[in-house]
Amino acid sequence: MNNKSAAYITGLGIISAIGNNVTENLNALNTMQAGIGPADLLKSTHLLPVGEVKLSNRQLADKSGVLSSLPRTALLSILAAREALSAFEGRTNGYRIGLLSANTVGGMDLTEQEYPKIKSREKIDPRNIAYHESGSITELTAEALGLEDCWTTTISTACSSSANTIMMGAKLIEQGKMDIVIAGGADSLSKFTLNGFNSLMILDKELCQPFDEHRRGLNLGEGAAYVVLMNEQTAKSLKAEKLALISGYANANDAHHQTASSPEGTGNQLAMKNAIAQAGIHPGKIDYINLHGTGTANNDSSEGIAIEKIFEGHNIPEASSTKCYTGHTLGAAGAIEAVFSVLAIREQKAWAHLRLETPIEGLSWQPNQSIVAKPLRHVLSNSFGFGGNCSALVLSAVL
C-alpha cells in the first residue's frame, strides 16, 4: 500500500465494562481483569451476567456535558468520541471531516419506557421515542462534538457494524475525500437485546468461555469506541502521533443463516483472506489475532476452522477474544476491539484469553491464556455479524 494515501490512526477513545477511558481499559487488559457480572443499572427479570458500564446516565451526561435525558447509547458514544478527538480540539477548522458511527439499538432504552403505556392506554411521551432509530445516535454525537456541518453516516450491520465504519473511513481517507474521519460506534444494554438474545438460547448464565469445548454462549455488553483517522498531510500538519496504520480490510457475506455462521466459516475466510492480501502480506506475517470469539457453539467453531484454513502452511499466531473482558458489545464491538488491537501494537503485547479450561476438540490451535510480550507489527481484528456479514481489519505498526 502507498502510505502517502494511507489512513493512519491518530486518536483513540473508549468506554466499556473494564474502564471509562483508554487508560482504564489498558490497565484492565494488563491486569487481566474482566468487567462482566450482575447488572446494576439494567432492570430485567433475566438474572444474566453482562458487561455493564459502571456509570449511570446522569454520570455519563455529567462527564460529557450533555443532557441526561438522551439515550444511553448516545451518552456512551459522545464520551468515547470526545476522548478520541481530545488531542485535536479547536484545531480542526478548515479540514474536511467525516463522522461514521455504528449502533444496533439506537434509543431503545428510552423507547422501552413507553411499551407499558400502550397496554394501559396511557399517553406516550414523544421525547422517549424521538431518538429511537440508529441514525439519531450519530446526529446527537456530531452535535455534542460541534461537528454539525461535517459529513455523517450511520452503519448498522449487526456485530460487524463499527468495524465497517473504520473500513469505510479508511476508504474515504485513501481516496482523498476526507482529511479526518472519526469512525467507531456504540451500543447500550437494553431489555430488547437481552430478551432477543435470550430467545435465541445463546446467552451464558455464567461468565462466557469463548473457544472452550464446553462453552455455553455469550455475555452481552455495552460500550463505545472511536478512532480518529488522518491522511499523511493532515497528521503532519496537526503534529499527530501515528498510532497505527489501517493496512488492510475486507467485508464478505456468506448469507448462510440469519443468526449463524456457515459451519466452515466461508464468510470469515473471505474477510480474513482479503484483508491480509490488501495489507500486502501473507498470513504468516500476522503477529496476533483479536478473535471475534463470542462463546457460542457455532461462532467459535466456524471461526476456529476458518483460521486453520487461512493459516494453512503457516504458524497460527497468538490469538485471544477480548469479549472475555467486556462481553459482546454488538455494534460497538468492532471499534472496541480495534482500539484494543492498537493498544496491543503500542504495548507490544498479545492480550490474554480468559477462562479457557478445555480447548475445542479437533482444533489444531488454542488461544493464549496469558499475556504474550512479543514484537507485534501486524494485528488481525475479526468482527463477524448476524446474516453472515463478516469483516476483518489488519492494523499495522508505523515504522
C-alpha angle 134/51/72, rounded to 5°? 35
> Do 64 and 209 belong together in one domain?
yes
Domain count for the chain: 2
> Do 385 and 279 belong together in one domain?
yes
> Three-class SS string for 117-135?
HHHHCCCCCHHHCCCCCCH
> Do 229 and 268 belong together in one domain?
no
> Do 221 and 274 belong together in one domain?
no
Predicted pLDDT at 4: 46
Catalytic residue selected from 150, 256, 292, 324: 292
Predicted pLDDT at 259: 56
Of 175, 204, 237, the domain-final residue: 237
Of 207, 237, 267, the domain-final residue: 237
Q: Classify 255 as helix, strand or coil.
A: coil
What residue numbers bound the domain in which 308 lies?
Answer: 247-396
pLDDT over 50 at 155, yes or no: yes
Buried b (16+ CB within 10 A) or exposed e, 29-42: beeeebbbeebebb
Q: Is residue 279 in a domain?
A: yes
> Do 289 and 388 belong together in one domain?
yes
Can 214 be counted among the known catalytic residues?
Answer: no
Query: 371 falls in which pLDDT band (50, 70, 90)?
Result: very high
Q: Is residue 319 in a domain?
A: yes
Which value, to the nearest 10 degrees, does the dihedral of the CA atoms of residues 260, 187, 157, 351 take? -70
Catalytic residue selected from 159, 208, 324, 390: 159
pTM value surpassing 0.85: yes
> Among positive and negative, which fits the CA dihedral 352, 271, 379, 228?
negative
Can 292 be counted among the known catalytic residues?
Answer: yes
Each residue's pLDDT tens digit, 78-99: 999 999 999 998 899 999 999 9
Q: Is residue 242 in a domain?
A: no
> Do 272 and 311 belong together in one domain?
yes
What distance in Å separates the CA atoms of residue 266 and residue 256, rounded to the nearest whole number?
Answer: 9
Q: Is residue 356 in a domain?
A: yes
Query: 2 falls in which pLDDT band (50, 70, 90)?
Result: very low
Q: Angle of helix 333-347 relative to helix 161-174, nearest 10 degrees?
A: 70
Amino acid found at 118? I
Q: How many of the other CB atoms lie within 10 Å of CB of 63?
A: 17
Residue 303 grid coordinates = 471461526
Of 237, 272, 301, the domain-final residue: 237
- In the predicted model, what is the mean pLDDT of residues 53-77? 97
Each residue's pLDDT tens digit, 25-35: 999 999 999 99
Can 378 be counted among the known catalytic residues?
Answer: no
> Do 223 and 253 belong together in one domain?
no
Q: Is residue 140 in a domain?
A: yes
> Do 208 and 306 belong together in one domain?
no
Average pLDDT, the chain: 94
Each residue's pLDDT tens digit, 238-291: 999 999 999 999 999 877 666 566 667 788 999 999 999 999 999 999 999 999
Q: Is residue 391 in a domain?
A: yes
Q: What is the CATH number of the domain that holds 25?
A: 3.40.47.10
Q: Which residue spans within 121-243 are E strands per DSSP?
A: 151-155, 180-187, 223-230
With residue 73 as reference, give the H or E element that holds it. Answer: helix 72-85
Catalytic residue selected from 150, 324, 328, 390: 328
Q: Is residue 310 in a domain?
A: yes
Q: Classify 381 as helix, strand or coil.
A: strand
> Among positive and negative, which fits the CA dihedral 258, 226, 77, 136?
negative
Query: 45 falls in which pLDDT band (50, 70, 90)?
Result: confident
> Do 254 and 297 belong together in one domain?
yes
Q: Is residue 45 in a domain?
A: yes
> Do 98 and 160 belong together in one domain?
yes
> Do 67 and 113 belong together in one domain?
yes
- In the predicted model, what is the mean pLDDT of residues 224-239? 97
> Do 221 and 280 belong together in one domain?
no
Residue 93 grid coordinates = 477548522
